[in-house]
Structure 1
Amino acid sequence: MKSNVTMRDIAEKLGVSSVTVSKALNDKDGVSDELKERIKTLAGEMGYRFNTAAKSMKEGLTYNIGVVIPERFTGPGQSFYLYIYQQISRELEQYGYYGILHILHREDEEQLHLPRIYYDRKVDGFILLGQVSKPYIELVQSMDLPKMFLDFYDEHADIDSVVTDNFYGAYELTNYLIAQGHRDIAYVGNLYSTSSIQDRFLGYYKSLLEHRLPLRNEWVLSDRDDEGVYVDMELP
């Protein structure tokens, strides 16, 4: 593969002008959607890389996205959110962006300190991965940059969220266990910790109701405290 691939290289491959390639790669008007897709696909295959520094100076953008993960979700044995961050970074690269990971320390969350990369204008937007406290959500709303929540939501926040269908997933899991003949089914999770855990519990409870099985409070097991720190748990 040729190193330092240019727009002219891409243009020659497709028999179009460098201007057309530039418009397509920058999502400008004047190029059909079909041709844009062909140009972007070929650019990726040839290993083309945007000159991010030049674009930043020209357009006033950093081409960075801050991905904020609360510290409690990054401890030993908790690789889920770090894996999601890796996937986010890979997707961002397809659009000429970079993902900057910021671990939100407990003290900063409690004292309502926004990430320094926000004040230093190092990013064009934020993805918050993992639930933060209500006061911190209100602080995030005040940020004058695009932002979104991933893997949690807040019904009072005017911020877009991308979440799993936790309710239906837990509902179907419980239905399956019951269909296999199980009747003593416990639920694990602190109901006051995250919206995802609450939604899973409601799906579990709906299945119990439909099958006329009692909800036993002693079988709702908390695996973490209200701050999200895991605790020792005794099984029934």
Structure 2
Amino acid sequence: MKKQKVTLEIIANEIGTTKVSVFKALKNQPGVSKELRERIVQVAHDMGYASKNENENLTVTKLGFLVAKRFFLDTDNFYTQIYYHLSRECALNNIDLSLYILNQEEEENEVLPFTFTQNQQSLNGLFIAGELSTSYIKEAVLKTKIPIVAIDFYDTHLEIDSIISDNYLSGYSITQHLIDMGHKEIGFVGDPHYTMSVMDRFCGYYKALLKNDLIYSKEWHLINNDLTGAYNIDYAIPQSLPTAFVCHCDMAAYKLLLKLQSQGISVPEQISIISFDNTDLSQNVSPNLTSMNINKQDMSIKALKCMLRRMEHPTLDPQKETVNVQLVERESIREITVV
């Protein structure tokens, strides 16, 4: 009987690790612990792994990260943090990750970035971060026929995998937190039509008001950015203000803070502000913002696992996974004492 050829995959299965880890260990490359390296070398020796097999080629996985400029460069650093963590996870798994930034003209014309079209033949999968229109994804992205994982959004019209946070529950929880602190008049900052995330956060906010028999006032619903993502402070503040505002993200909260301070209104003494995302911006303003933290590293890890699963099982039903959130309390909110 012909003796079975010992391959990297057989060694990996024997140990319970990855083929990439075996390759790195036998090539004495970084990315493998000393203990695992020694075990791999020993098992390979015991199994009779021939040195000529050490040149066995590994196909390098190449993934893309597509994000609109309005999300990546023009706002806070939420998506840059996602990209940072995802890049690290890919590097640890010997995966190449390329960044593709979509400008407004390309988005409106439903075309892919030029750099993407130059490389798409070699890509094994694509992450889409932020939210792009259903039409854009259908007309520009899905036609590439490569696996797709959406990060921080979902689209009920598309059968694609999504990694999200529970924005509806977060919107409810963050508003209920203010109510528990004695606030009865609470406004909202953000356009629900901007992204699905903002819509879900607004709906959670609205539910908390209804559940506690509190009034939703259109006068207290402020919008300080347009549908392109551009923020401004050129909007009117109502004469009669609530005691608190729920802001759809840290940047929206920051712009509101500037507006209030320019009119001599202090935070949190007169108005409390609470927001979402817990980006660096939340700690770089005064007062520091209370913000709902979305675990960006967890989101990145789950996105990569989802992508690798999709590549291995292309016919699976679309998966939607959620990541953990936690409210980080800082100086921008205060408790109202009921006399």
Q: TM-score range by the shorter chain?
A: 0.7 to 0.9
- Alpha-carbon contact 1:66-1:100 (below 8 Å) kept: yes
- Give yes or no for the alignment of 1:114 onto 2:112: yes
Question: What amino acid is the match of 2:211?
Answer: E
Change (3 A) 1:44 1:115: farther
Deviations 1:41-83 (A, max 9, x none): 97622598xx9xx433xxxxx5211001101112355211011
Q: Among residues 99, 102, 124, which one is paired with 2:100 in the alignment?
A: 102
Deviations 1:161-214 (A, max 9, x none): 111100101101111110110112111111111000000000000000000011
- Give yes or no for the alignment of 1:35 onto 2:23: no
Structure with the larger RCO, 1 or 2 (CA within 8 Å, 6+ apart): 2
Task: Determine what percentage of the aligned residue pairs are the same residue.
Answer: 32
- Residue 309 of structure 2 corresponds to which residue in structure 1? none
Quote the Cα distance in structure 1 between the aligned partners of 2:10 and 2:227.
Answer: 49
- Alpha-carbon contact 2:189-2:222 (below 8 Å) kept: yes
Q: SS at 2:99's partner residue? A: strand
Q: SS at 1:199's partner residue? A: helix
- Residue 206 of structure 2 corresponds to which residue in structure 1? 205
Q: Of Structure 1 and Structure 2, which has the larger fraction of its residues in strand?
A: 2
> Pairwise CA RMSD of aligned residues?
2.9
Quote the Cα distance in structure 2 between the aligned partners of 1:211 and 1:63.
Answer: 51
Change (3 A) 1:234 1:92: farther
- Residue 23 of structure 1 corresponds to which residue in structure 2? 9
- Alpha-carbon contact 1:126-1:146 (below 8 Å) kept: yes
Change (3 A) 1:24 1:110: farther
**Match runs of 1:109-148 below 5 Å:** 109-116=107-114, 117-118=116-117, 120=119, 121-139=121-139, 140-148=141-149
Q: CA deviation at 1:229?
A: 2.0
- Give yes or no for the alignment of 1:92 onto 2:93: no
- Alpha-carbon contact 2:187-2:220 (below 8 Å) kept: yes
Quote the Cα distance in structure 2 between the aligned partners of 1:93 and 1:45.
Answer: 15
Unpaired runs of 5+ residues, structure 1, are: 1-17, 57-61
- Structure 1 moving runs of 4+ over 3 Å: 39-43, 233-236
- Alpha-carbon contact 2:191-2:223 (below 8 Å) kept: yes
- Residue 241 of structure 2 corresponds to which residue in structure 1? none
Quote the Cα distance in structure 2 between the aligned partners of 1:184 and 1:148.
Answer: 39
Count of matched residue positions in the alignment of Structure 1 and Structure 2: 205
The two structures have a TM-score, normalised by structure 1, of 0.77
- Alpha-carbon contact 2:148-2:160 (below 8 Å) kept: yes
Quote the Cα distance in structure 1 between the aligned partners of 2:10 and 2:172.
Answer: 45
Quote the Cα distance in structure 1 between the aligned partners of 2:156 and 2:92.
Answer: 31
Question: What amino acid is the match of 1:191?
Answer: P
Unpaired runs of 5+ residues, structure 2, are: 26-30, 38-53, 239-339
- Residue 181 of structure 1 corresponds to which residue in structure 2? 182
Quote the Cα distance in structure 2 between the aligned partners of 1:77 and 1:202.
Answer: 23
- Residue 82 of structure 1 corresponds to which residue in structure 2? 80
Q: SS at 2:150's partner residue? A: strand
Deviations 1:105-132 (A, max 9, x none): 1111111112343453232110000111
The two structures have a TM-score, normalised by structure 2, of 0.55
Question: What amino acid is the match of 2:16?
Answer: L
Quote the Cα distance in structure 1 between the aligned partners of 2:97 and 2:232.
Answer: 32
